[in-house]
């Protein structure tokens, strides 16, 4: 009965797109239509205001009040022409979503009448209540005031008739309460350090941007089935469910055609994304059934991060129209692949050079090698911070589970570059090189692009892999904000490049020629960072053993990952580059610990309710049917029944045992929660929840999944994996 009921609800499926008329248009006809981009700025604001605004965007200059007023006026006119009635600062607080507080342009007048207004000061600053967002004790509720401030480097856009203004979010005392503030600071730090290094090679470089191309994985579930699963609804993942007889064994989903209903959903959210200037390029099935991926063309990192969070919002909304639910949880289904969000990271100069792409000349390639080797050094020195940056309760279900790079850092370079590095190590020497030696090395370096083109081998098991013209950080979880890893990667590279510059300058001061000095320091780094390079299978047990032998630090648990970010060395790093002060790092640390407790607490409550109200009563009902059957057999077949009913009797016993274990473990789990709820210290509470409460979730699930195999399908109260994993 269960199956039929869920399926019937699932029938109401196919939907018209939000704007069917867009289907006949070229994407380029409406790409960016809802964005206040430079073209619209030029149209709607004065030349003077436009130029100041461009300066603010390109060079981080301040915008004065007069200009802000003009920009606000122009934005309002444009937005109202497009039907917007409200405006909102749009920001990314320290949780899994984005925040908006809408205010109307509309202004009633005293004594009657009304008009529409939007002043510069409202564009620049808005005051949401900081106490309602995670703030790690930075603000007490009674004095909670934080404000959001316009980030002119990410263009405003219209969503649902609201003019959204990308903003940072900070406490009145100045501490950042969001992802964007430290991200912007880290981008400035990279810019400064990288420009200095580029000056060795090209005096025209005065700006280096970080580029980010993310790949977003997600699952889709039919709405009716989703609504019949309280665990999915409340925790984003299934807390029970036996794996389906057929899931991803045949590897047939990855290469398969995208189901029609899913394709309709994709086209619909893509159209909305294009209107908002999100340059989506690829869409495809992923490894697990019902798992998909989309990826845009890479962009400047701040904009790419905004586009990713905005797209997640859009996908959630559009899914509702198609009677689907999109799951961004890293591990919604046990036993099949989880979802990640690969962050492809590179550096690009104002002269249009990708600093991580091999070039055409030896000079370009020394520059490439400098940035390449410095990135490896940054990963070597700060790798544990990289891994800590993406640690969340939900991502921990995916990492290390034989499908995503585990919580041990390593860098994959591919065999070609590995050989280049080895050869440099051997041939560059600290002794003065002869002109012949120098020419030969340069000739070799000049050849890199030719060999690379054919040799970008792929290693899907490495957390940080070089993929030809960028590094790909694969440990990021599908629900993570990309800014979290970027802040760390950027800060680490800024620190590393600063050190590189200092060391090269020292050699130059000693009279060593620039190129030779650079090559010598590159060689020194190749030797120092050798430990972090690994070309083999990052999922294998041997690698974990070897990594330990090499002394690479690994992270054992989520609370341990959070602790890494408040160690002395981490605080010193972030303070040196002006990314976080100590108070901010501690605030984030507490927020993370608190989130962890809350997530496990919710899962534990949901599972306890489901066990008590859905599973145990169902199991008992089925057990009673068996008992009746055995009794009946005894009545009519008194001589043979013991033999005939042997299997039933065994099953009755099994059910009794599972039910007993589920009940007992639930009691123990609740007791463990009580014990740790009583602890004031948030670290003790988080550790207790992680080490003692969480394991009960697995134990209880184990027994419930056994019951699912025994109990009559007609009685089973929840949709099963095989039902949720087929969209049609």
473-507 core/surface letters (b: 16 or more CB in 10 A; e: else): bbbbbbbbbbbbbbbbbbbbbbbbbbbbbebbeeb
Q: Which is nearer to ligand ADP, 50 or 371 (CB)?
A: 371
Measured distance CA(5)–CA(659) in Å, rounded: 26
Q: Which stretch binds ligand ADP (CB under 6 A): 117-125, 158-166, 291-299, 576-584?
A: 291-299
Measured distance CA(382)–CA(570) in Å, rounded: 9
Asked if 288 contacts 219 with a C-beta cutoff of 8 angstroms, the reply is yes
Query: Out of ligand ADP, Mg ion, none, which partner does residue 723 contact, by CB within 5 to 8 A per kind?
Result: none
Helices (H), 82-215: 120-124, 180-198
Q: Which is nearer to ligand ADP, 389 or 520 (CB)?
A: 389
Q: Which is nearer to ligand ADP, 216 or 666 (CB)?
A: 216
Strands 324-327 and 299-300: unpaired
Q: Which is nearer to Mg ion, 486 or 611 (CB)?
A: 486
Strands 411-412 and 464-466: parallel
CB of 469 to ligand ADP, least distance (A): 5
Note the residues at the interface with Mg ion (CB under 5 A): 342
User: Which residues have C-beta within 8 Å of that of residue 634, sequence separation ≥ 6?
Assistant: 641, 645
Q: Which stretch binds ligand ADP (CB under 6 A): 152-160, 206-214, 615-623, 633-641?
A: 206-214
Query: Out of ligand ADP, Mg ion, none, which partner does residue 599 contact, by CB within 5 to 8 A per kind?
Result: none
- Residues between 326 and 345 that touch ligand ADP (CB under 6 A): 344
Q: Which is nearer to ligand ADP, 124 or 483 (CB)?
A: 483
Asked if 356 contacts 469 with a C-beta cutoff of 8 angstroms, the reply is yes
Measured distance CA(413)–CA(406) in Å, rounded: 18
Under the binding rule (CB under 6 A), the answer on residue 403 touching ligand ADP is no
Q: Which stretch binds ligand ADP (CB under 6 A): 293-301, 440-448, 495-503, 562-570?
A: 293-301
Nearest position to ligand ADP, beta carbon = 213
By rule CB under 6 A, what count of residues binds ligand ADP? 14
- Residues between 641 and 660 that touch ligand ADP (CB under 6 A): none
> How many of the other CB atoms lie within 10 Å of CB of 349?
20
Q: Which is nearer to Mg ion, 218 or 716 (CB)?
A: 218
Query: Out of Mg ion, ligand ADP, none, which partner does residue 474 contact, by CB within 5 to 8 A per kind?
Result: none
Query: Out of Mg ion, ligand ADP, none, which partner does residue 615 contact, by CB within 5 to 8 A per kind?
Result: none
Q: Output phi, psi for 404, to 5 deg.
A: -125, 150
Under the binding rule (CB under 6 A), the answer on residue 295 touching ligand ADP is yes
Q: Which stretch binds ligand ADP (CB under 6 A): 181-189, 294-302, 655-663, 714-722?
A: 294-302
Query: Out of Mg ion, ligand ADP, none, which partner does residue 216 contact, by CB within 5 to 8 A per kind?
Result: none
The tokens describing 442, both together, are: 């340069």
User: Which residues have C-beta within 8 Å of that of residue 161, sequence separation ≥ 6?
Assistant: 83, 84, 85, 86
DSSP letter assigned to residue 143: G
CB of 90 to ligand ADP, least distance (A): 23
CB of 398 to Mg ion, least distance (A): 16
User: Which residues have C-beta within 8 Å of that of residue 276, sequence separation ≥ 6?
Assistant: 32, 34, 35, 157, 159, 307, 310, 314
Measured distance CA(194)–CA(206) in Å, rounded: 9
> How many of the other CB atoms lie within 10 Å of CB of 268?
24
Strands 146-150 and 464-466: unpaired
Strands 162-171 and 86-91: parallel
Residue in the block written with tokens 């019902």: 290
Under the binding rule (CB under 6 A), the answer on residue 282 touching ligand ADP is yes
Asked if 199 contacts 71 with a C-beta cutoff of 8 angstroms, the reply is no
Q: Which stretch binds ligand ADP (CB under 6 A): 6-14, 296-304, 517-525, 633-641?
A: 296-304
Interface residue with ligand ADP, options 85, 313, 354, 581 (CB under 6 A): 354
Asked if 512 contacts 520 with a C-beta cutoff of 8 angstroms, the reply is yes
CB of 337 to Mg ion, least distance (A): 14
Q: Which stretch binds ligand ADP (CB under 6 A): 114-122, 192-200, 209-217, 662-670?
A: 209-217
Torsion angle (degrees, nearest 10) of CA 234, 236, 240, 246:
150
Measured distance CA(355)–CA(367) in Å, rounded: 7
User: Which residues have C-beta within 8 Å of that of residue 724, sequence separation ≥ 6?
Assistant: 221, 222, 225, 226, 229, 238, 241, 290, 333
Interface residue with ligand ADP, options 93, 213, 338, 477 (CB under 6 A): 213
Query: Out of ligand ADP, Mg ion, none, which partner does residue 469 contact, by CB within 5 to 8 A per kind?
Result: ligand ADP
Tell which residue, 270, 265, 181, has the closest CA to residue 220: 265
Under the binding rule (CB under 6 A), the answer on residue 413 touching ligand ADP is no
CB of 558 to ligand ADP, least distance (A): 27
CB of 280 to ligand ADP, least distance (A): 10
Tell which residue, 312, 433, 438, 318, has the closest CA to residue 366: 438
Query: Out of Mg ion, ligand ADP, none, which partner does residue 470 contact, by CB within 5 to 8 A per kind?
Result: ligand ADP
Q: Which stretch binds ligand ADP (CB under 6 A): 114-122, 210-218, 397-405, 638-646?
A: 210-218
Q: Which is nearer to ligand ADP, 345 or 580 (CB)?
A: 345
Query: Out of Mg ion, ligand ADP, none, which partner does residue 346 contact, by CB within 5 to 8 A per kind?
Result: ligand ADP
Tell which residue, 328, 588, 613, 354, has the closest CA to residue 471: 354
The tokens describing 178, both together, are: 């969001």
Q: Which is nearer to ligand ADP, 216 or 272 (CB)?
A: 216
Residue in the block written with tokens 């404000």: 147
In the three-class reduction of DSSP (H, G, I as helix; E, B as strand; rest coil), residue 432 is classed as coil
Query: Out of Mg ion, ligand ADP, none, which partner does residue 222 contact, by CB within 5 to 8 A per kind?
Result: none
Distance between first and last Cα of the chain: 20
Under the binding rule (CB under 6 A), the answer on residue 298 touching ligand ADP is yes
The site string for ligand ADP over 52-71 (x = CB under 6 A, - otherwise) reads --------------------
Under the binding rule (CB under 6 A), the answer on residue 500 touching ligand ADP is no
Query: Out of ligand ADP, Mg ion, none, which partner does residue 455 contact, by CB within 5 to 8 A per kind?
Result: none
Tell which residue, 495, 493, 499, 492, has the closest CA to residue 521: 499
Measured distance CA(599)–CA(556) in Å, rounded: 19
Query: Out of Mg ion, ligand ADP, none, which partner does residue 188 contact, by CB within 5 to 8 A per kind?
Result: none
Query: Out of ligand ADP, Mg ion, none, which partner does residue 211 contact, by CB within 5 to 8 A per kind?
Result: ligand ADP
Under the binding rule (CB under 6 A), the answer on residue 572 touching ligand ADP is no
- Residues between 451 and 480 that touch ligand ADP (CB under 6 A): 469-470
Under the binding rule (CB under 6 A), the answer on residue 346 touching ligand ADP is yes
Interface residue with ligand ADP, options 69, 70, 209, 211 (CB under 6 A): 211
Helix or strand holding residue 464 (H, E): strand 464-466
Query: Out of Mg ion, ligand ADP, none, which partner does residue 308 contact, by CB within 5 to 8 A per kind?
Result: none
Can you list the positions of beta strands (E) in 314-450? 324-327, 341-349, 411-412
The site string for ligand ADP over 415-454 (x = CB under 6 A, - otherwise) reads ----------------------------------------
Largest CA distance in the chain: 105
Q: What residues line the site for ligand ADP (CB under 6 A)? A: 211-213, 215, 282, 295-298, 344, 346, 354, 469-470
């Amino acid at each position: 009965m269960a199956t039929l009921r869920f399926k019937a609800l699932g029938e109401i499926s196919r939907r018209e797109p939000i704007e069917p008329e867009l289907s006949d248009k070229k994407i380029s006809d409406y790409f960016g239509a809802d964005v206040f981009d430079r073209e619209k700025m030029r149209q709607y604001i004065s030349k003077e205001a436009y130029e100041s605004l461009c300066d603010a965007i390109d060079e981080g200059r301040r915008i004065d009040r007069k200009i802000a007023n003009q920009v606000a006026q122009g934005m309002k006119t444009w937005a109202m022409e497009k039907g917007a009635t409200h405006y909102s600062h749009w920001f990314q607080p320290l949780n899994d979503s984005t925040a908006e507080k809408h205010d109307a342009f509309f202004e009633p007048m005293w004594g009657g009448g009304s008009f529409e207004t939007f002043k510069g000061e409202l564009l620049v600053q808005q005051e949401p209540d900081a106490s309602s967002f995670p703030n790690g004790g930075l603000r007490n509720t009674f004095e909670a005031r934080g404000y959001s401030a316009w980030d002119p480097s990410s263009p405003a856009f219209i969503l649902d008739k609201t003019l959204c203004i990308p903003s940072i979010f900070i406490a009145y005392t100045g501490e950042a309460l969001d992802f964007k503030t430290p991200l912007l600071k880290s981008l400035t730090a990279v810019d400064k350090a990288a420009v200095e290094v580029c000056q060795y090679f090209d005096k025209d470089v005065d700006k280096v941007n970080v580029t980010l191309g993310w790949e977003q994985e997600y699952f889709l579930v039919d709405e009716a089935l989703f609504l019949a699963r309280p665990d999915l609804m409340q925790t984003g993942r299934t807390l029970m469910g036996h794996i389906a007889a057929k899931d991803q064994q045949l590897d047939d989903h990855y290469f398969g055609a995208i189901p029609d209903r899913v394709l309709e959903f994709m086209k619909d959210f893509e159209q909305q994304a294009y209107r908002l200037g999100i340059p989506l390029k690829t869409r495809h099935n992923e490894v697990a059934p019902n798992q998909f991926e989309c990826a845009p063309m890479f962009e400047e990192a701040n904009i790419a991060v905004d586009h990713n969070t905005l797209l997640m919002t859009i996908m959630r909304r559009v899914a509702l129209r198609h009677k689907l639910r999109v799951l961004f949880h890293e591990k919604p289904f046990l036993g099949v692949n989880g979802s990640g969000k690969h962050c492809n990271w590179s550096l690009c100069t104002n002269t249009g050079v990708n600093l991580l792409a091999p070039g055409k000349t030896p000079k370009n390639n020394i520059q490439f090698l400098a940035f390449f080797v410095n990135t490896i050094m940054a990963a070597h020195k700060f790798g544990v911070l990289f891994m800590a940056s993406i640690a969340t309760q939900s991502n921990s279900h995916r990492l290390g589970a034989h499908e995503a790079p585990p919580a041990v850092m390593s860098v994959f370079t591919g065999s070609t570059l590995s050989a280049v590095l080895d050869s440099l190590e051997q041939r560059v020497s600290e002794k003065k090189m002869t002109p012949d030696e120098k020419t030969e090395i340069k000739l070799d370096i000049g050849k890199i692009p030719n060999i690379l083109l054919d040799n970008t081998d792929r290693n899907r098991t490495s957390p940080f892999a070089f993929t030809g013209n960028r590094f790909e950080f694969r440990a990021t979880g599908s629900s993570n904000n990309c800014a979290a890893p970027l802040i760390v990667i950027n800060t680490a590279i800024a620190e590393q490049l600063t050190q590189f510059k200092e060391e090269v300058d020292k050699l130059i001061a000693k009279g060593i020629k620039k190129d030779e000095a650079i090559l010598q320091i590159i060689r020194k780094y190749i030797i120092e960072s050798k430990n972090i390079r690994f070309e083999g299978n990052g999922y294998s047990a041997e690698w974990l053993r070897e990594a330990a032998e090499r002394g690479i630090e690994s992270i054992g648990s989520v609370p341990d990952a959070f602790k890494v970010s408040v160690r002395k060395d981490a605080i010193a790093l972030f303070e040196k580059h002006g990314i976080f002060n100590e108070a901010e790092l501690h605030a984030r640390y507490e927020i993370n610990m608190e989130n962890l407790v809350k997530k496990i607490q919710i899962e534990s409550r949901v599972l306890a309710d489901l066990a008590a109200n859905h599973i145990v009563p169902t199991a008992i009902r089925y057990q009673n049917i068996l008992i009746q059957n055995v009794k009946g057999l005894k009545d009519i077949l008194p001589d043979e029944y013991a033999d005939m009913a042997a299997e039933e009797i065994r099953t009755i016993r099994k059910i009794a045992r599972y039910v007993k274990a589920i009940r007992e473990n639930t009691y123990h789990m609740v007791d463990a929660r009580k014990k740790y709820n009583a602890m004031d210290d948030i670290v003790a509470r988080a550790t207790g929840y992680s080490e003692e409460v969480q394991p009960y979730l697995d134990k209880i699930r184990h027994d419930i999944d056994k019951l699912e195999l025994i109990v009559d399908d007609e009685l089973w109260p929840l949709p099963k994996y095989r039902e949720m994993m087929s969209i049609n």
